[in-house]
Amino acid sequence: MPHRSRDRHRGYEPEWERRREIDRRRYRDDRGDDGSEDDDDDDEDNVIDSEEAQFVQPDRRRRRHHGESRSRSNRRYDPYDRHDEGGIDNEYDDRHDDDEESEIIVVDSRPNFARPPNVRPSPRRISPSPYVGGRERSRHHKAKESPATSPIKKRHRDVDREGQRRRRDSTADEGAMKPKLRERGVKDKHRERDKVDPRARSKDEHKRSRHREQERERVRDKHTSSGSANSATQLLSADALSKLNANNAKRDAIVRQREAKEEKARHEKEKRRRKKEERLTEKSRHRDASRERGRAKGKKRVVSGAMMEEGRGPELRVRGGGGRVREKRREGDGDGGGGGGDGGGAWFRNWSKKKKIWVVVGILILLLIIFVPVGLVVSKKKDGGSDSTGKKVSDPSNDNLKNIDRNSIPQSAKGTYLDPFSWYDTTDFNVTFTDETVGGLPIMGLNSTWDDSVQANEQVPPLDKEFPYGKKPIRGVNVGGWLSIEPFITPSFFSKYSVHENVVDEYTLTKRLGSTAKAVLEKHYATFITEQSFREIRDAGLDHVRIPYSYWAVKTFDDDPYVEKVSWRYLLRAIEYCRKYGLRVNLDLHALPGSQNGWNHSGRQGPIGWLNGTDGNKNAQRALDIHDQLSKFFAQPRYKNVVTIYGLANEPLMLKLDIEPVLDWTTKAAETVEKNGMKQYLVFGDGFLKLSKWTTILQNTGHKFILDTHQYTIFNTDLIGLPHKKKLEFVCDGWVQLIGDSNSKGTGWGPTICGEWSQADTDCAKYLNNVNVGTRWTGTMDSPTAKDQVFSPLCPTTNNKKACSCDGANANPSAYSDSYKKFLQTYAEAQMFAFEKGWGWFYWTWETESATQWSWRRGLEAGILPKKAYEPTFTCGAQMPDLGDLPEYY
């Protein structure tokens, strides 16, 4: 499009001047009216040239309010407006034609109860005119700019002022320099509007008028519509309104609750602050009173002058002395005077600090004198007066230490295993100090002489004569739960702890006991099995003793919490007691490093760490090293007659372990032991495999092996539910043949002994199936191992819907019926008969704290075992006893 310029009108100057004068007069008339029309004096939109706009008086120019549209009544039509920014309707505003509709107020006509909470009526909304063009928009944006004058603006302002000065000098000079305003193109455009054809302008005005009318109709229809879709605020449904109200109520409740908590916290804080202030005030008051009493201690002086003058003679106050009774009654509750009104306790507060201390110390000493002896007596009666078996005991006298000089113990040995003054019990020990060892194991406590001529009973040869194994059966007993702790034998160690403390084996027990473990366990070692125990074993007609012990009797590894070596001393003393009463010994390593079966009597309940897992091989080698030390020690001549059987590993769980590594380890252990000079029989466990599987295993090795099997009916879910007579028949028929076949080289492995068995016909003993685990008998066995869980009663009468109970089995033996006692003794004697088809048996066990059916000693007292082990009253093949009306469920 060609650029329009003043140069195009140079040939029409008279006409141009005439029209210009007309515009001037019109402008003056418009500015002098009564203001009924809105005038716009914006420099960019005025109908006259910018040259004329410079001379308009400031008081006659009116600024347009923000949001107010510009009047177009005096604007001349310019067809090029349609090409401006914003289009043909760039600066249109219908305010001149329709002032009332240009500002729409939308009011929410709903009643207050239907309006959602916190919702206000819609504010006034002003619809912008579609004709507001780019210049006005840019002006609004410019209003947001910084008020500081930029260099460009300043330069333009200076240029404009220069142009204004020149125009004042010559307003008619057409050749003057064109002002350098920022929107000169727009001003030039307005100067060319006079040339537009009137017909084109009229036609465009018609279009513009029609557009305004359509816009007004659209606005009118919108705001007169009765539909809620076009309203400023839509009504909410009932559900939405209820949810909104509930949400607001919940939020308000939370706010109120938080405010209440904050208020309560502030109140408590203020209360504590006040109490603290009161305490400080009270201390200050007492400190002042004490200071006054201190000053008056040396000399008391009556202050009476002012008081006498004021007429208060009867109320004389003595410094450091008492106060007025009236003040005392007002400030305190006591009946006595003095103390400045501190109540009846003032007599104590008036004492000096030193006097108070001496009185308190004297009272404490008096209380100790009274209560300490009483506590010791009660403790003796409750704990110290009897051991865990209920036998009356007292602390050992340790008389053999009287002839020992403490200085004879080297300083380096004091407080160690070798220091007899650190032992709980020195009875029957040689307390002369020696640091001599055999196989790295100390001989401290042993006497240098021994006698092997003793005979246990007339049924067996004395110790110095060889025992006819295989021809005469072994009749022995275990001393379980002694040097290797087992929960069901000594439940008192575990019942004192809660389930959450998880004390379930010797590992967790010693860890829980911490630094007191040595004292606690040594007292147990000294009292649970004593010399009397071995004398009674002999008197019961038994001839062998199986002594379970653990590897920490020799040494500990890594972070083991076990008590190291203390049990070793009691093991050696037990062997000497067995020697004294003619009892032969079966040494049983009951717990190996890492645990060979994962059961609690192996030291640590849980996963197997021997020949299994990350440290399996390391623990296997550790066990071999321990056997190396033990075999060197027990290969000494003093043990060749008394220790006749040597166990390699108790109950390795070959159902979970690989069989070949276990067999290889067994062979290595035997080679180690025999290499060190041991000639004893070596025992290995059947690993809970069927005895028939051992027919071809470990045969012809050249070692003096004995196969050890442990037989219990109660740990078998198929056998525990058998009725009483069926159990007797099973033992006499099944086990007699089983042991007989295993004991023969032609039908089984060969020499076989039963290292453990019991007369118990239920698994009801406390902690028998692990600590805090129930029983198979009652269907409450919640074992950590899923496959071992039993939640259905297995007692024989479950089909008859009778309640299974452990009350009968766990009752005091004095409450046993005669028929039940008869069954228990017959059941025990039947097993004795079956196991004597092999090399013999070892009953489990000699002593328990409460489980009668697991203790040979308690069974003897209850009359449910033969008085002499070698004189049973029942043998298989004889007439079954009449059990009368013995119930199956107890």
Alpha-carbon gap, residue 838 to 687, rounded angstroms: 18
Nearest residue to 741 via CA among 709, 705, 700, 703: 709
Tokens of 764: 């009801």
Phi/psi for 706 (5° steps) reads -130, 130
* Cα–Cα–Cα angle for 857, 858, 859, rounded to 5 degrees: 90
Alpha-carbon gap, residue 684 to 676, rounded angstroms: 18
Alpha-carbon gap, residue 29 to 250, rounded angstroms: 68
CB atoms within 10 A of CB 296: 14
Phi/psi for 843 (5° steps) reads -70, 145
**Residue from 136, 486, 576, 651 carrying the catalytic annotation:** 651
Alpha-carbon gap, residue 579 to 575, rounded angstroms: 6
CB atoms within 10 A of CB 604: 21
Tokens of 202: 């009229």
Helix (H, G, I), strand (E, B) or coil at 724: helix
**What would the DSSP string read from start to end of 454-486?**
--S-TTS--TTS---BTTB-EEEEE-TTSSS--
Q: Do the bridges between strand 544-550 and strand 840-843 make them parallel or antiparallel, or are there none, so unpaired?
A: unpaired
Alpha-carbon gap, residue 254 to 872, rounded angstroms: 81
Alpha-carbon gap, residue 83 to 85, rounded angstroms: 7
Alpha-carbon gap, residue 170 to 148, rounded angstroms: 33
Encoded amino acid at 407, one letter: N
- Residue 674's H or E segment, with its range, is helix 659-675
β-strand partners of 587: 547, 646
C-alpha distance from residue 282 to each of 475, 728, 786 (Å): 81, 84, 66
Alpha-carbon gap, residue 839 to 876, rounded angstroms: 17
What letter would DSSP give residue 658? -
* Cα–Cα–Cα angle for 537, 541, 543, rounded to 5 degrees: 70
Q: Specify whether 501 is catalytic.
A: no
Phi-psi region of 145 (alpha: psi -120 to 50; beta: other; left: phi over 0): beta
Phi/psi for 550 (5° steps) reads -115, 165
- Residue 590's H or E segment, with its range, is strand 584-591
Query: CB under 8 Å to 393, separation ≥6 — which residues?
Result: 384, 385, 386, 387, 527
Encoded amino acid at 165, one letter: R
CA 206 to chain CA mean position, Å: 86
Q: What is the 3-state secondary structure (H, E, C) of 184-211?
A: HHHHHHHHCHHHCCHHHHHHHHHHHHHH
Q: Specify whether 756 is catalytic.
A: yes
Tokens 């020149």 -> residue = 166
**Residue from 486, 756, 829, 849 carrying the catalytic annotation:** 756
CB atoms within 10 A of CB 605: 21
Phi-psi region of 864 (alpha: psi -120 to 50; beta: other; left: phi over 0): alpha
C-alpha distance from residue 189 to each of 20, 52, 72, 147, 536 (Å): 16, 16, 16, 29, 134
- The answer to whether residues 454 and 580 touch, using CB atoms and an 8 Å cutoff, is yes
Helix (H, G, I), strand (E, B) or coil at 544: strand
CB atoms within 10 A of CB 781: 20
Alpha-carbon gap, residue 856 to 843, rounded angstroms: 7
CB atoms within 10 A of CB 665: 24
Alpha-carbon gap, residue 736 to 876, rounded angstroms: 9
Question: Which residues are identified as catalytic?
Answer: 651, 756
